[in-house]
Chains A and B, each alone.
With several copies, the nearest count.
Chain A
Amino acid sequence: MALDKPYQDIPGTTIFDAEQSRKGYWLNQFCTSLMKAENRARFKADERAYLDEWPMTEAQKAAVLARDLNACMAQGGNIYFLARIGATDGLSFQQMAGSMTGMSEQKYRHMMVSGGRSIEGNRYLGEDGDAQPHRQPQGQAGHTKD
């Protein structure tokens, strides 16, 4: 499609545009359903069975079961919808956001009180900031990827 998507050269960032929205429609609708207490209870009682009520892809269901928010985003999820899963689990927005960086909860929180993630090196893909693909997962320096 000929419309401009100038936002594809930003590292570690997915823009929830019409295409993502179409891809993630049922995933996000599932998330919205968790705003009702009775649905949260049913989901918690049997996550797989509850997910199977929705016409989601297997990859979307797996991402939800694994609480892998990056995978959820790749499958069309949007953070404000996905936050309903976190709320069901009793997580804060900071815990959810941090979970996508590969950093520990402590390290992420410490980064924030220290002024947040620096923009330097994180504006364009191909620079050398900590959000660049070649530096993922973060907070693992010196460790082998597992």
Chain B
Amino acid sequence: MARITASVYTSHVPAIGVAMDLQKTGEDYWKPLFAGYDFSRRWLRDNRPDVIFLVYNDHATAFSLDLIPTFALGTGAQFNPADEGWGARPVPVVQGHPELASHIAQSVIQQDFDLTLVNRMDVDHGLTVPLSLMCGEQDPVHGAWPCPVIPFHVNVVQYPVPSGQRCFQLGQAIRRAVESFDEDLNVQIWGTGGMSHQLQGARAGLINREWDNAWLDQMIADPAACAATPHIDYVREAGSEGIELVMWLIARGAMSDVAGSGRPPRVAHRFYHVPASNTAVGHLILENA
């Protein structure tokens, strides 16, 4: 049977993609950020999954105001990097895993999550920047991501966005779905976005290092309590775009301790850095113990 072995969490700032695409990672501004991912790239090579279930949000790229899904699961065979206005990122096409994705869709809808299934969409920096951070530079044509990726989009742009509680429960449903897939697959679930940042208004540039780290502590140790954090706390304490953190709770909900294994996950890596552009960057790797 398939199983979720680890979860990875990381912010997905567009400027990080730009820094990698323009070979600026050695500049003083960027060095400390990328240093925080050195371990992670080795870890991913040593713990290469068969499939990555990647939770992210589209930023008005594939989904305009014409159509706003709360949760959208990519069941297609492949997904192209999107042109977000500055040209498409020079990274490999994302290969999907239609069999596992369709299986998860069936299971999760029958667990009363009202998914939208998507066979055709372009994926923006929300999905490709985490892949770049964890896998390093990849030639768009001759390179490749290490394995198939199932994109899972969460609306965090137009309110109301799903609650932390709903996201946490969804993660648990995804775990049950993966474990009912017959093929023997090593699946990682990644949660992306955050941490504190605000891209708008007089309060733009807000960073709340203390709140971010307290949130991380609680998300690791007591995720059910963390999931009860109301939206308003994210917005007030972590900025209007800090709400992206609810996506991390989907990945966290899929870990085995939540399903009652009794053993808290092992923190393989933890990193925090300010700033990347407007944003506080948080990063975690949790392994099922």
Interface residues, chain A, with chain B CB atoms under 8 Å away: 1-3, 6-7, 10-19, 21-22, 25, 28-29, 31-32, 34-35, 40, 69-70, 73, 78-81, 83-84, 86-88, 92-94, 96-98, 100-102, 108, 111-113, 115-117, 119, 122-124, 131-133, 136-138
Contact = CB atoms under 8 A, between A and B. Distances in A.
B96 to A, nearest CB: 11
Given A32-B65, A116-B274, 13 more contacts: A2-B181, A2-B182, A3-B180, A14-B240, A15-B159, A25-B65, A81-B60, A93-B14, A101-B201, A101-B205, A112-B275, A122-B203, A123-B236
B20 to A, nearest CB: 15
Contacts of A19: 102
A138 B202 contact: yes
Nearest to A28: B65
Contacts of A21: 65, 102, 158
A17 B86 CA distance: 27
B102 A87 contact: no
Interface residues of B, number: 59
A32 B60 CA distance: 8
Contact of A79 (B199, B205, B274): B199
A97 B107 contact: no
Contact of A3 (B1, B59, B103, B208): B103
A1 B103 contact: yes
A28 B198 CA distance: 19
A100 B181 CA distance: 34
Nearest to B103: A1
A115 B205 contact: no
A117 B158 contact: no
B135 interface: no
Contacts of A102: 202
Nearest to B207: A116
B115 to A, nearest CB: 11
Interface of B: 1, 14-15, 18, 29, 59-61, 64-66, 75, 83-86, 98-99, 102-103, 105-107, 110, 119, 157-160, 180-182, 196, 198-209, 211, 231-232, 235-237, 239-241, 274-275, 277-278, 280
Contacts of A86: 85
Nearest to B201: A12
B277 A94 contact: yes
Contact of A93 (B182, B196, B278): B278
B205 A73 contact: no
A117 B159 contact: no
A97 B199 contact: yes
30 contacts: A1-B181, A1-B182, A2-B180, A3-B107, A6-B232, A11-B202, A13-B198, A13-B235, A14-B201, A15-B235, A17-B158, A18-B160, A28-B64, A28-B65, A29-B66, A73-B201, A79-B241, A81-B65, A83-B59, A83-B84, A83-B85, A87-B86, A88-B85, A92-B15, A94-B278, A97-B204, A100-B202, A112-B205, A115-B209, A116-B275
A97 B204 CA distance: 6
